[in-house]
Amino acid sequence: MQLVELALSRLHRPTRCLRRVDCVRRGVASRDLSAFLLEMRRLEEYKEEEHLHLLGEVLDLAHGTLEEQTAATLEAIGERVPRIYRPVLRARAPFGDGPELVGVPHFLILDRDDYVIREVAYVLHADETHNPDWLRRLEAYAWLYEANTLRPPAGLQYVNVDGEVHDVAYQGPAKVLDELRQVYEVGTNGLAKYEPVGEVRCRLCRFREHCFAKALADKDPAVLPAVDLSLARRLRELGIRSYTELPAAFTAKTLAAVERPFGTRMRRVGRKAKVILDQVSAFESGRTIRRKKPELPAGDRYVLFDVLGLPEQVHASGRVYVWGIETSPLGADSYRSSVAGPGAKGGREAWFGFLRNAAAVLKKQGDLPFFHWSRFDKDRLLEYASRWGDRDGIADRVARNLFDLRLAARDAVAIPDTSYSICTVEQHAGFRRTRSQQESDEDIARYIRAVETKDEALRSELLDRVIERNREDLAANRAVLGWLRGLADTAES
């Protein structure tokens, strides 16, 4: 028997990876779920219960044995009960030796003569790029429903984090059955293909320590920050199993010409080839290698910009919860932040709060470099401007002044580390946080709790911690900027 929800959750959460299925099969020791993932799970249950109350009278099938629940579901469907909560649907899978698939949708809702299948999801949006596991769940339920009633459901829906009901077009069960087959095969026979580690992919996964320890011991090229998942797979196809083989197998020129899939197209490694080979040298020597003189905007006056948001790649909305800026030189009013309250309205107000803060800085100091770390900040800025508007062109001015310190650091130094996250690079700059990385990860959970709670004192305490985190990130950016500027005077490899 294979529970559809468990199989898809193992495969997709926090990011899609078949190796997680294999880790579970082998009983690999894992760390506990992060505070963030636990909070998401709690909220999903809370939202489901909230929707249950909203629907009014429902037939609740959440209790009893599986046999009883299955029989009661088919009976309720036959009798056209208007709303059924936690029905159980079962059918034999058309793969392997025909394992039984079991699905437990949140709701079946009668629409004229047939049922709509509705899931309550703690996501803002679900499509093939964002949170596709919700689409797969709905497809699995549709297939199970059809297998039991011999007709397709009247529709598929998910309720998003803001309580909006979205329709999903049913494209047939091919995708979900293929995924369930893969989970079944790996769960039965083990992993047959290479699944590389990746900074973003593994960040919140409970097997992170295990997989990275193995990849580092194997000198897997995937541990190099400039080698993305697609390139790691391509290198494996080319017979490269260890990063130590790269300098003998490629020059910077031949590595630059290697192509790997990128979306629907193929993309050459290009300029990253030299970065990759320098990262190999850093790993082999265990030392930081200065690659070239950092190219940074000059001047003592600048702005640091940092956005805290829910991670996109997990079961979440990618929503920004703090927009923070800090001006130099440091003074009592250097730091300004804007924190999002609950729901879409809270996100919108925080956005306009940020625009007011940025407008005040631009008015007082004119156009200055806005230093930030990674694409995340820029992507959110452009996304919010397009979603909520940028009437006075403030976001546009900020976007034109953005300078990505992460790219500058990556170009300037090769570090013997698996990531160019701010938390890693700041250590090379001699910056020490007052709080551990784990505490920082818990800030996301703190924020979610803060916007949900009715307790004002608790909310204010939780939000203070989140703002502390934003200030500490900005301080880390300041330290790295100072470090890179110091290297600019001395660096030449």
Q: Which residues bind ligand SF4 (CB under 6 A)?
A: 15, 17, 19-20, 23, 195, 197, 201-202, 205, 207-208, 211
Supply the minimum distance, in Å, between the C-beta of residue 19 and ligand SF4.
4
Supply the minimum distance, in Å, between the C-beta of residue 240 and ligand SF4.
18
Q: How far, in Å, are 348, 352, 383, 402 from residue 387 at the CA level? A: 9, 12, 6, 20
Q: Which one, 118 or 206, has the nearer CB to ligand SF4? A: 206
Supply the minimum distance, in Å, between the C-beta of residue 373 and ligand SF4.
22
343 φ/ψ sector (left φ>0, alpha ψ -120 to 50, else beta): left
d(CA 477, CA 483): 10
d(CA 340, CA 352): 10
Q: Which one, 13 or 118, has the nearer CB to ligand SF4? A: 13
Q: Which one, 17 or 303, has the nearer CB to ligand SF4? A: 17
Q: Which one, 180 or 202, has the nearer CB to ligand SF4? A: 202
- Contacts from 428-436 at CB under 8 Å and sequence distance 24+? 428/288, 428/483, 429/476, 429/479, 429/480, 429/482, 429/483, 429/484, 430/479, 430/483, 431/475, 431/476, 431/479, 431/480, 433/472, 433/476, 434/472, 435/468, 435/469, 435/472
Supply the minimum distance, in Å, between the C-beta of residue 13 and ligand SF4.
10
Strand pairing class (83-85; 59-60): parallel
Contact (Cβ atoms closer than 8 angstroms) between residue 142 and residue 153: yes
Supply the minimum distance, in Å, between the C-beta of residue 219 and ligand SF4.
16
Q: Which one, 130 or 203, has the nearer CB to ligand SF4? A: 203
Contact (Cβ atoms closer than 8 angstroms) between residue 126 and residue 132: yes
Supply the minimum distance, in Å, between the C-beta of residue 302 and ligand SF4.
36
Q: Which one, 186 or 320, has the nearer CB to ligand SF4? A: 186
Q: Report DSSP state, residue 338.
A: E
What residue ranges in 265-387 does DSSP mark as E strands? 265-268, 289-290, 303-309, 320-327, 335-339, 370-372
Distance of CA 127 to the CA centre of its chain: 14
Q: Which one, 10 or 291, has the nearer CB to ligand SF4? A: 10
Supply the minimum distance, in Å, between the C-beta of residue 23 and ligand SF4.
5
Supply the minimum distance, in Å, between the C-beta of residue 326 and ligand SF4.
34
Looking up tokens 């088919």 gives 74
Q: Which one, 220 or 411, has the nearer CB to ligand SF4? A: 220
